[in-house]
Amino acid sequence: MFKNITMSQFSTLDTTAIHILDVREEDEFKAGHIEGAKNAPLSRLTMLYAELDTSKAYYVICHAGVRSVQAAMFLESVGFEVVNVLEGMNGWQGPIVR
């Protein structure tokens, strides 16, 4: 079973040294995301996951933590190491890229 971390735990990580997978839709991602995050909308994840590197661990984030659970479950089922970020971007207090 994949690991869950809180936003307060996630915010202590060096986001430039980890792999963040933002599963919000493209318009949400463009409105503001964590620098370095890769966008793979949940609605297209079953097609896009093949582009991801299975040797990397991904921190999966969405808006409020619901879609990221679904994405983490799927990614884990196809062999990825994932960590679900609870609260999602709704709880992120750091800088964002638009």
Residues serving a catalytic function are 62
The residue behind tokens 């679900």 is: 84
For residue 26, CA distances in Å to 18, 48, 62, 98 come to 21, 13, 11, 12
Please give the Cα distance from 98 to 7 (Å, whole number).
20
Between strands 57-61 and 81-85, the pairing is: parallel
